[in-house]
């Protein structure tokens, strides 16, 4: 609990330290003897994900509290996550984006929502906020017993030459999406540039392509989807190229060219000039913490509002939730910003509970997220390998699998690519990433929950998951990932390091069939098909490590078990040649990356 808040907590009807009701308020308290008590007048800044959840939960907990929500935009509780699909016309009725109206808040919850009312400042000493009615320009003050901040995050707009040209957009609100739709229609846009290849960038690329535009993504990192490890992002990159989206990686926008005030092209630092009738900037968001900062509330190292586990700020009468706050990473315990709807909603609920004296605690985030792009699902949870490497954390291992989403004999099975990251020493699950057409988000959700509960790879081995041929496999991909990882933790198999190939002085053994080997191999690998291995052991060296690969990592695992029991120092290359196709630094002649790039070049020619 923050220091110095005893007097204010008592004013809220909350006993310091215990977070229990003080029972000071006579008849008010008697009427709700067994119910927790919230402050009498709660003001909420921001009426969308976190703010709206907090308001509704608070009402369910306390019929008596006066709750007023201030929202500077025209709508409370709208579906910001649906905006890219509205632009792409997958959602064509704008009204569907309105999850709840001010009238619904009033009639169902007895909550007053003031839209187009911007909160300008907070006077903490007087416990008042200053509000501007954007309709008539009047400014007034409102007193609070408790204040909840859920002002969200604002899309970054880097100060580049030409950034203010018409046709250069960011996307946050319904009016933003309406303006983008109108611009595309009225200017008859044909070429779009999406700056940034993260979640919103990819969703926008798909939706602009759906409207018939030629789309180019410019991404300053050397991969799309920066939270993913690079090799996993490669599947997404290939998929974008195969869906006629051009992608410029490792190149940043230098500025925007225009004519008569309208954007015409994007120039990159790498010297490219890309024609553009419309530009979508999706280069990240910044927490809207200025209001909090001006009020002297403590901020975290990333500029977000600092809160404790019950979402309380450094002022005991003020709570904050959502994209504007910094929260603890559940795995690394570092403070971080995770601008996602799930955490914002949960935090809103927790703040309401805490306001009412309930012992609610936010467990932290693990950045579980999913994105769909041209029929491909990309999902992740927990830490990535690159973050562990940055943190110089060496006690981890990663395994790759390429299982089907459901039994191969049932029609429509699709391969997915799954990476599981875990503590090498004890097997605790740290993170997972998956890409595929079907069943991806289900597996990541299971692993996400396993991480939240501190589970190990042995728990994943044993996880009881639903199965019928059209839905999964008797050994679900989650079980398989647990088994493969558990083999490593138990010491039954050691892993070769993809990052060190192909020139690390080991003996490379490929146990695929000759025909598969002929289609492409890693470096100077020697081919001995698995079924011949026992007869040809004398061809293998005993004086140096043998790294074994097959197509997906299963036959090579069998081979490693044979070799180790015959005294060889053998290692498995997890995920096999399928992993190599995305790991290989230059892409392989027969690899998916090279194929997709060639397709893209052919189209351009
Ligand atoms: P918001 O929902 O942004 O609400 C903040 C509100 O506060 C805003 O409406 C703002 O107008 C108002 N406000 C700010 N300052 C003031 C002030 N001074 N006075 C009055 N009102 C104020 N997340 C996912 O998990 N999955 C997705 O698929 C996904 N897709 C997204 C797609 C898009 C295009 C966008 C923009 C976001 C997406 N997100 C997604 C992120 C998700 O929407 C946010 O994490 C979530 O809405 C954050 O909730 P919040 O309450 O913190 O902020």
Contact at 8 Å (CB) between 240 and 224?
yes
Q: Whose CA is nearest to atom 28 of ligand 1?
A: 81
- CA of residue 432 to ligand 1 center, whole Å: 26
Is the preceding omega at residue 308 within 30 degrees of 0, hence cis? Answer: no
Distance, in Å, from the CA atom of 292 to the CA atom of 595, rounded to the nearest integer, reads: 51
Phi-psi region for residue 254, left (φ > 0), alpha (ψ -120 to 50) or beta? alpha
Name beta bridge partners: 129: 122, 142
pLDDT of residue 505: 84
Q: Which residues contact 248 (CB under 8 A, 6 or more apart)?
A: 216, 217, 218, 219, 268, 270, 272, 274
Is the preceding omega at residue 223 within 30 degrees of 0, hence cis? Answer: no
How large is the average pLDDT for residues 500-513? 88
453-459-461 Cα angle (round to 5):
145
Q: Which residues contact 556 (CB under 8 A, 6 or more apart)?
A: 511, 548, 549, 550, 572, 573, 576
pLDDT of residue 28: 37
What are 349-360's pLDDT values in tens digits?
Answer: 999 999 999 999
Q: Which of 44, 46, 204, 441 to mutate to test the pocket of ligand 1 (most atoms within 8 A of CB)?
A: 46
- Decide which of 34 and 66 is more confident: 66
How large is the average pLDDT for residues 8-26? 37
Q: Which of 43, 80, 97, 172 to mutate to test the pocket of ligand 1 (most atoms within 8 A of CB)?
A: 80
Contact at 8 Å (CB) between 354 and 340?
no
Q: Is 50 in the pocket of ligand 1 (CB under 6 A)?
A: yes
Binned at pLDDT 50, 70 and 90, residue 37 comes out as: low
pLDDT of residue 558: 96
How large is the average pLDDT for residues 53-68? 96
Query: Which H or E run includes 42?
Result: strand 41-45
- Reply yes or no on whether the pLDDT at 129 is more than 70: yes
Distance, in Å, from the CA atom of 320 to the CA atom of 300, rounded to the nearest integer, reads: 13
Distance, in Å, from the CA atom of 232 to the CA atom of 599, rounded to the nearest integer, reads: 20
Binned at pLDDT 50, 70 and 90, residue 585 comes out as: low
Q: Whose CA is nearest to atom 42 of ligand 1?
A: 341
Q: Is 81 in the pocket of ligand 1 (CB under 6 A)?
A: yes
Of the residues 81, 317, 336, 371, which is catalytic?
A: 81
Give the start-end residues of each E strand in 383-517.
397-401, 416-422, 429-436, 507-510
pLDDT of residue 599: 47
Distance, in Å, from the CA atom of 180 to the CA atom of 87, rounded to the nearest integer, reads: 7
Q: Which residues contact 535 (CB under 8 A, 6 or more apart)?
A: none
- Reply yes or no on whether the pLDDT at 597 is more than 60: no
pTM confidence score: 0.90
C-alpha Rg value of the chain to the nearest Å: 27
Query: Could you identify the atom of ligand 1 that is nearest to the CA of residue 342?
Result: 25
pLDDT of residue 36: 60
pLDDT averaged over every residue in the chain: 91
Contact at 8 Å (CB) between 143 and 41?
yes
Phi-psi region for residue 433, left (φ > 0), alpha (ψ -120 to 50) or beta? beta
Provide the percentage of residues in the chain whose pLDDT is more than 90. Answer: 87
Distance, in Å, from the CA atom of 94 to the CA atom of 100, rounded to the nearest integer, reads: 13
What are 544-556's pLDDT values in tens digits?
Answer: 999 999 999 999 9
Query: Does residue 81 have an active-site annotation?
Result: yes
Binned at pLDDT 50, 70 and 90, residue 216 comes out as: very high
How large is the average pLDDT for residues 364-388? 96
pLDDT of residue 6: 38
pLDDT of residue 35: 63
pLDDT of residue 604: 44
- Reply yes or no on whether the pLDDT at 587 is more than 70: no
192-195-197 Cα angle (round to 5):
110
Distance, in Å, from the CA atom of 440 to the CA atom of 403, rounded to the nearest integer, reads: 11
Contact at 8 Å (CB) between 133 and 148?
no
Least confident among 14-23, 100-109, 243-252: 14-23
Query: Could you identify the atom of ligand 1 that is nearest to the CA of residue 340?
Result: 45
Provide the percentage of residues in the chain whose pLDDT is more than 70. Answer: 90
Q: Is 327 in the pocket of ligand 1 (CB under 6 A)?
A: no
Q: Is 84 in the pocket of ligand 1 (CB under 6 A)?
A: yes
Q: Is 343 in the pocket of ligand 1 (CB under 6 A)?
A: no
Q: Is 180 in the pocket of ligand 1 (CB under 6 A)?
A: no
- Neighbour-count burial of 401, counting CB atoms closer than 10 A to its CB (0-12 exposed, 13-18 middle, 19+ buried): buried
- CA of residue 195 to ligand 1 center, whole Å: 20
Q: What are phi and psi of 345, to 5 degrees?
A: -65, -45
- CA of residue 328 to ligand 1 center, whole Å: 20
Name beta bridge partners: 98: 78
- CA of residue 99 to ligand 1 center, whole Å: 13
Q: Is 152 in the pocket of ligand 1 (CB under 6 A)?
A: yes
Q: Which of 48, 56, 90 to mutate to test the pocket of ligand 1 (most atoms within 8 A of CB)?
A: 48
Query: Could you identify the atom of ligand 1 that is nearest to the CA of residue 371?
Result: 28
Binned at pLDDT 50, 70 and 90, residue 501 comes out as: confident
pLDDT of residue 508: 95
Binned at pLDDT 50, 70 and 90, residue 90 comes out as: very high
Q: Is 403 in the pocket of ligand 1 (CB under 6 A)?
A: no
Q: Is 176 in the pocket of ligand 1 (CB under 6 A)?
A: no
Contact at 8 Å (CB) between 274 and 218?
yes
How large is the average pLDDT for residues 563-574? 96
Q: Which residues contact 374 (CB under 8 A, 6 or more apart)?
A: 206, 209, 239, 240, 243
pLDDT of residue 583: 84
Q: Whose CA is nearest to atom 22 of ligand 1?
A: 46
Q: What are phi and psi of 489, to 5 degrees?
A: -65, -35
What is the dihedral sign for C-alpha 400, 402, 406, 407? negative
What are 319-340's pLDDT values in tens digits?
Answer: 999 999 999 999 999 999 999 9
Binned at pLDDT 50, 70 and 90, residue 504 comes out as: confident
- Reply yes or no on whether the pLDDT at 259 is more than 90: yes
Q: Is 291 in the pocket of ligand 1 (CB under 6 A)?
A: yes
Contact at 8 Å (CB) between 163 and 170?
no
Distance, in Å, from the CA atom of 56 to the CA atom of 49, rounded to the nearest integer, reads: 11
How large is the average pLDDT for residues 156-173? 97
- Reply yes or no on whether the pLDDT at 245 is more than 70: yes
Question: SS3 letters for 125-176?
Answer: CCCEEEEEECCCCCEEEEECCEEEECCCEEECCCCCCCCCCECEECCCCHHH
């Amino acid at each position: 609990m923050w220091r110095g808040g005893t007097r204010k907590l008592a004013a809220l009807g909350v006993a310091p330290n215990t977070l229990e009701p003080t029972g000071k308020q006579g008849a008010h308290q008697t009427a709700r003897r067994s119910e927790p008590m919230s402050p009498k007048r709660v003001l909420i800044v921001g009426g969308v994900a976190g703010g709206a959840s907090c308001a509704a939960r608070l009402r369910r907990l306390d019929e008596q509290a006066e709750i007023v929500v201030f929202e500077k935009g025209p709508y409370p509780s709208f579906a910001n996550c649906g905006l890219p699909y509205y632009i792409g016309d997958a959602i064509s009725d704008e009204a569907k984006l309105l999850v709840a109206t001010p009238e619904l808040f009033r009639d169902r919850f007895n909550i007053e929502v003031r839209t187009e009312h911007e909160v300008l400042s907070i006077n903490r000493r007087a416990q008042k906020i200053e509000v501007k009615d954007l309709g008539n320009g009047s400014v007034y003050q409102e007193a609070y017993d408790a204040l909840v901040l859920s002002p969200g995050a604002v899309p970054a707009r880097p100060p580049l030459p030409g950034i203010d040209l018409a046709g250069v957009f960011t996307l946050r609100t319904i009016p933003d999406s309406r303006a983008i739709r109108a611009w595309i229609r009225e200017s008859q846009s044909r070429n779009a540039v999406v700056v940034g290849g993260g979640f919103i960038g990819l969703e926008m690329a798909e939706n602009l392509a759906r409207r018939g535009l030629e789309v180019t993504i410019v991404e300053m990192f050397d991969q799309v989807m920066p939270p993913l490890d690079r090799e996993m992002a490669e599947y997404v990159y290939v998929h974008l190229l195969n869906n006629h989206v051009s992608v410029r990686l490792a190149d940043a926008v230098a500025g925007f060219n225009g004519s008569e005030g309208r954007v015409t092209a994007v120039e990159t630092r790498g010297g490219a000039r890309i024609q553009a009738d419309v530009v979508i900037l999706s280069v990240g968001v910044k927490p809207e913490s200025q209001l909090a900062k001006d009020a002297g509330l403590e901020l975290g190292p990333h500029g977000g509002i600092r809160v404790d586990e019950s979402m309380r700020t450094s002022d005991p009468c003020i709570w904050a939730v959502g994209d504007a706050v910094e929260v603890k990473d559940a795995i690394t315990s570092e403070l971080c910003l995770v601008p996602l709807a799930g955490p914002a909603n949960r935090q809103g609920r927790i703040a309401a509970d805490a306001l009412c004296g309930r012992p609610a605690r936010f467990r932290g985030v693990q950045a579980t997220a999913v994105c769909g792009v041209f029929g491909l699902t990309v999902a992740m949870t927990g830490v990535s390998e690159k973050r562990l490497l940055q943190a110089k954390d060496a006690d981890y291992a990663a395994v790759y699998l390429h299982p089907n989403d459901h039994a191969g004999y049932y029609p429509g099975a699709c391969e997915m690519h799954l990476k599981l990251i875990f503590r090498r020493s004890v097997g605790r699950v740290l993170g997972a990433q998956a890409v595929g057409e079907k069943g991806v988000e289900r597996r990541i959700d299971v692993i996400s929950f396993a991480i939240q509960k501190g589970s190990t790879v042995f728990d994943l081995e044993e996880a009881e998951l639903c199965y019928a041929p059209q839905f999964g496999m008797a050994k679900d991909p989650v079980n398989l990932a647990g088994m493969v990882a558990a083999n490593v933790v138990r010491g039954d198999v050691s892993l070769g390091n993809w990052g060190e190939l192909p020139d690390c002085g080991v003996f490379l053994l490929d146990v695929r069939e000759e025909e598969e080997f002929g289609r492409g191999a890693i470096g100077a690998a020697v081919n001995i098909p698995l079924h011949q291995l026992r007869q040809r052991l004398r061809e293998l060296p005993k004086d140096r490590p043998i790294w074994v690969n097959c197509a997906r990592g299963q036959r090579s695992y069998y081979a490693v078990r044979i070799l180790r029991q015959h005294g060889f120092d053998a290692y498995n290359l997890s995920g096999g040649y399928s992993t190599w196709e995305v790991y290989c630094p230059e892409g392989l002649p027969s690899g998916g990356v090279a194929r997709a790039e060639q397709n893209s070049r052919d189209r351009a020619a």
